[in-house]
Chain A
Amino acid sequence: MSILATKDTHVVIQGGLAGVNAARRMAEFRYMIKEPLNVSAFVYPPDAGKMNEVTYGSELLTIPIYKSVAEATSNHPEINTSLVYIGADRAYAGTKEALDNSNIQTVSMITEGVPERDAKLLGKHARKLGKIFNGPSSIGVISAAECRLGVIGGAFDNLVACKLYRPGSFGVITKSGGLSNEIIWICSQFADGITTAIGIGGDAYPGTDYVTYLELFEKDPQTKVVVIVGEMGGDLEEGVAEWYGAQKRRIKLLAVVSGFCQESLPKGMKFGHAGAKEGLKGEGSARAKSEALKKAGAIVPDTFGGLGSAIKSTYDELVKSGQVIPVPELSPADLPRLPKTIEQSMKDGEVLVTPLITTTISDDRGEEPLYEGYPASELINKGYGIPHIIGLLWDKRLISKQDAEIIKRILMLSADHGPCVSAALTTIIAACAGIGLSQAVAAGMIMIGPRFGGAVTDAGRWFKHAVEHNMTVDEFLGYMKKNVGPVPGIGHRVKSLRNPDKRVKELVSYVKSVGIPTPHLDFALEVEKVTAAKKDNLILNVDGTMAAVLVDLGFPVDSLNGFFILARTIGLIGHWTDQKRQGSRLIRLFDYLVNYAAPKRREVPPLQ
C-alpha cells in the first residue's frame, strides 16, 4: 500500500526536455518493479503531434505529445495525474488547465521559481475542487514497488540500494529534494524502507502541507511511521504538531527541523529554500517548531545525525511488538538490474561485435585527437608542422624536417594559379551564383582531373614503374606509347623550353640542393630532355615534377593527387572569399564568346 502515487496512477507530463528526462527516470523505476510504464502522454504545444522516445529496459517506447491536457486525456482516459515541468512564467496557466480537467485528480509541480501568488491561487483552486496540488519546487513522489512521479530517488543503482522494489513501513515527507533521498536511504539501511516519500517543495507556500499527507498516511495500514524533515520559517511544522497532538494517532511521528544556526547568525540572513525564513517577530524558528513537535508526542532528535538511530530504534520496537515482520533481503544476484549498454557489455567482454569500419590513422575518442598515436597538442608544442600531419595521416609516418620543408614548398607553389584555370573559374562562377563556401569549393574541386591538376598520381605511377623496371628513357617512351598514351606530367599548354615554368625550376633546384637521392626526379628530367627535343612544350610540368619528387620522398602513389588538391583548396577558398568580399553579382557567359553552331530556327512538325 502507499499514498498519492500508486499502482493505479497514470501520468501526463506537461513540459519539454526536463519532462522527457523525468519520464526516462520513471521508466527505469517501472522496469525495476516489472510493471509497464505509466506515462501515457506528454503535453507540450511546440512539439504537439510528435513523439518522445523513452527507454524501458531494452525497449524504446514512443509516447505521444499533445497540444492540450484535454486532448491528452481524451486520447488516454486512464490519465489521472499530471506532472508539471513548464517554465515558471507559464506554469500557472498549465497547472490550472490540468486541475480543471475532470480526469486529473493530482497535479505535482516540479517547476522552481514560481511566484508565490500563483502557487497560492493554484492551492486554493485545488482545494476548492477537492484535488491535490503538490509543489511548486517538488522533487516528486515515490511509492516503493508502485509508482514514481518525477526524478525523486535518483539513479537506478540508488533505487536498488534503497530497496525501492519492495514496500517498507516508513512514510517520508520533506521540503528538500536531496534530503528526501537521504531519508529514503536511511530508512532502507536502518529499517525496512519506505512506503511513500513525498517532496512538498521548499517554497514559502506549497500547495499542500504535511498534514494533507499525514491524514493519508494515517489511513494507510502499511505505513507505521512517518518521518518529516522540516525547516525554519512558515507554520507548516506547527500544523503538524497541532494535528499530531490533537488526538491519538496510529502512526508514529519522527521529525527533524533545520535552522538552529539562525540563532547565532546576523538577523534576517536568508538561508536555504525560499520558505526557510523566520517571521519578523521570531515565530517559525527551528527551536519553536522542534519544541511544538516534541510536545505533541513526536520523536525529535536534536540533530539530523540523530535521525538514523531514531529510525532504527523505532523500527526495532515495531519488530519487537510484532507490528512489522521483517522480509528476507534479496541476494545480490537477485537484485534488479538495468540492461547493459552495448558499450558496457563490450567492456565487460560479454559480446563480440564485428566493426563496420577500420581506421589505422587517427582516434578522437579521448581528450584530443591522436594522429597515428601522437597527441595533436604535443605535435604542436614540439614544433611539428602541417607537412608532418600530412605524413602521419597520408603515409602513417613521422617525416624528417628536410622532407617537411620540401612538402611545404610544394604546397606553397601549387596553392593558386589565378582565376582562369578551370577549378578557380568554376568556384568563382559558383560564388557569383550565391553558392556557399563548401559547395563552391567542391565545384572547383570537381574540375581537378586528368587534364587539370590531376595528373600527379598517374605521373608518379609511371615514373615509379620505369625506375622499378630499370627502363631507359627510350624503353619508357616506347612502353608508354604502346600501353598508355601521352606521358602524364609531361607537356604544358603555355610553358615551353624557352618559357620555362619557374615553379618547376624552383622546386627542382631546391630538391637538388639538399642532396637527397632523387632517382625518379632524375629520370623525369632525362625524359624531358628527349620529349622537349621533339617538341618545345613537352617539358616536365609542375604535376610531373611534384610526382617525381614525392615518389622520391617515399609517398604512396595513390596519395599524390592529394598534394595538389590540398594546395589548391587554399586558392579556391581565397577565390570564393574574394568574390564574397566584392559582393559580386551573378555572371553569365557573353553570347559573343559562343559559337552558335546549332541549326537555325525552323518550324516544329506536327506531333505524330
Chain B
Amino acid sequence: MAKVLEGPGMGLLTKWGLLTPHCVVVGSAEEFDKLAEANDWLKKNQLVVKAHEALGSRFKLGLVKVGLDLAGAKAAVREILGRKVETLTIDQVIVSEAVDHKEEYYAAVKSTRDGADIMVANCGGIEVESNWDRVKRVSVEVGDSPTDQALQSLVEEAGFSGSLASKMAEFAKKLFACFDNEDGQYLEINPVVQRQDGELVALDAVTLLDGDAKFRHPDWNFPFAAEFGRAYTTNEKEVMAVDAKVKGSVKLIEIPGGDTAMLPAGGGASVYYSDAVVARGGKLANYAEYSGDPPDWAVEVLTEKVCSLPGIKNIIVGGAIANFTDVKKTFGGIINAFRKAKSEGKLNGVKIWVRRGGPNEKEGLAAMRALGEEGFDIEVFDRQTPLTDIVDMALTRK
C-alpha cells in the first residue's frame, strides 16, 4: 500500500470531478506570499494551515492551525515550516480554505477480495467513529461499476433523502470512479460537507493507492508517504532506494528503543522471527527482510544499516530453507558489512545468531562460522535447528 499526502490526494479527487477546498502546498514562506498575491481565495476565505507530512496527532503537536485570515495564515506558515518533530523537519505545509458548513457526512471506498465496498454515512467527522452502525455499504465486483439505482438505494438506506440523496449518490459515484481508475486501495472522505450553495465538498481525505500500479499512472508524480504515523528515516529511505533498483527485495523499518536487531530472510519467515522476539519478551530494534535472491551488495547495504542501530545486543540472521536465494552469495554481503561494522567498533558486545538453509547452504554457513575465528561473537545453526530457536537462545542468554 502506498499512502498519498493530502495535497496530491485532493488533486486526484479533483481530477475525477469531486469538489475539494482550494488548497496550496508550499515549501517556503516566500512562495506562500507570492501565491497569496495571485489567488483571490486566499484573501477572501478563512484558512486552515497544516503540516504536510505523514505525521500522526498533528493537532496535538500544534501543527494544525484553523480559523485564520491571510495574515494569520502567513504567520502560521512561518511558524510550522522548519519545525522539528523527532528526526523529522517539516518542510511542507498545506494551506486550504475553510468551508463554511453545518452538516458533516462520510464516504469511503475500500478494496475487498471481490472488488470494493462503497460506504456512506449521514454523519461525519469524529461522530462516525462512535456510530459505525450508521455506515451503510454496497459491494461492487471488480471490473463492474455501481448502478445509479444501487447508489440511490445505498444513500437512502444511510438516511439521505431528497436532493441531498441524489447529490450524495453522485458524490459516491465519482469517488468510486476515482478509486477504480487510480488503482485505489482505500479512499476515505471524512467529512463530506455541504457548502452554502448546496454542493458537497470533500473536506479531508485518506488516500491509499496500490504502489505496484505506478507503471500505468504517469501522473503520479508525488512521493508515497510512510503509513505508520511518522516519516521515513534516512536509513529506511536508503534501503528503499536500493530495493527499487534490484531484483528481489530488501526492506527495513527502524523501531527506536529496541535491543534485538533483525536481519532475517523472507517476507513470511521474517514476521515469525519478529513474533518469536515479542513472545520471548524481547524488544525489536527493527524489522528487516531480504528475499528473492537479491544481489549481495543490496544485502550488504541492509546489513550496514542494521549494524548501525543504536543499543543492540543481538542480531538475528534468521531464515527458512530458501528455494532459490543463494545462501552463500547473500551471506557474502552480510559478512562484508559485518567486517566493516566491526572495524568501525559497531559490534562491541553484540552477539550474532544465524540459522539458514537453501542453495549453497554449506558454504554460506561455513563462511559465517569462520567469522568466529576473526573475533566475532557468533553462533551458527543449520536447517536441523528449528526456525526460531535462535531467538529463544539469544533472549535467554545472560
Residue positions of A touching B, CB distance < 8 A: 21, 25, 88-89, 112-117, 120-121, 124, 139, 151-155, 158, 174-182, 185-186, 202, 204-205, 229, 231-232, 234-235, 256, 258-261, 263-274, 276-277, 280-281, 286, 302-305, 308
Contact = CB atoms under 8 A, between A and B. Distances in A.
Contacts of B213: 115-117
Interface stretch (B10-18, B58-66, B260-268): B260-268
B323 A139 contact: yes
B117 to A, nearest CB: 12
B276 A272 contact: no
B319 interface: yes
Interface of B: 1, 111, 113-115, 132, 141-143, 180, 183, 185-186, 210, 212-213, 215-216, 227-230, 253, 255, 265-272, 274-279, 284, 287, 289, 291-292, 319-325, 357-360, 383, 386-389, 392
A410 to B, nearest CB: 44
A174 B271 CA distance: 14
Contact of A260 (B210, B269, B278): B278
A201 to B, nearest CB: 10
A163 to B, nearest CB: 14
Decide if the interface of chain A is mainly helix, strand, loop or mixed: loop
Contacts of B114: 120, 124
A202 B268 contact: yes
Contact of B389 (A232, A260, A305): A305
A173 to B, nearest CB: 12
Given A185-B383, A204-B111, A271 B271 contact: yes
23 contacts: A89-B216, A114-B212, A115-B212, A124-B143, A139-B323, A154-B358, A158-B358, A158-B359, A176-B269, A177-B323, A182-B357, A205-B113, A256-B272, A258-B268, A259-B271, A261-B277, A269-B253, A273-B268, A277-B1, A302-B279, A303-B279, A303-B388, A304-B276
Nearest to B215: A89
B269 A151 contact: no
Contacts of A186: 386
Contacts of B322: 154, 178, 181
Contacts of A276: 267, 271
Given A112-B292, A305-B387, A261 B278 contact: yes
Contacts of A181: 320-323, 357-358
* B213, B230, B319: residue with the most chain A Cβ atoms closer than 10 Å: B213
Contact of B113 (A120, A175, A272): A120
Contacts of B255: 265-266, 269
Contacts of A266: 228-230, 255
Nearest to A113: B212
A570 B322 CA distance: 52
B229 A116 contact: no
A270 B115 CA distance: 22
A186 B183 CA distance: 40
A280 B266 CA distance: 25
A305 B323 contact: no
* B284, B319, B386: residue with the most chain A Cβ atoms closer than 10 Å: B386
A151 B268 contact: no
A151 B324 CA distance: 7
A153 to B, nearest CB: 7
Nearest to B186: A280
A115 B388 contact: no
* A88, A231, A268, A308: residue with the most chain B Cβ atoms closer than 10 Å: A268
B268 A231 contact: yes
Nearest to A260: B275
A232 B253 CA distance: 18
A303 B275 contact: yes
A272 B320 contact: no
Contacts of A174: 268
Contact of A182 (B132, B142, B269): B269
A153 B267 contact: no
Contacts of A259: 271, 275
Nearest to B268: A176
A179 B1 contact: no
Contacts of A268: 227-229
A270 B227 contact: yes
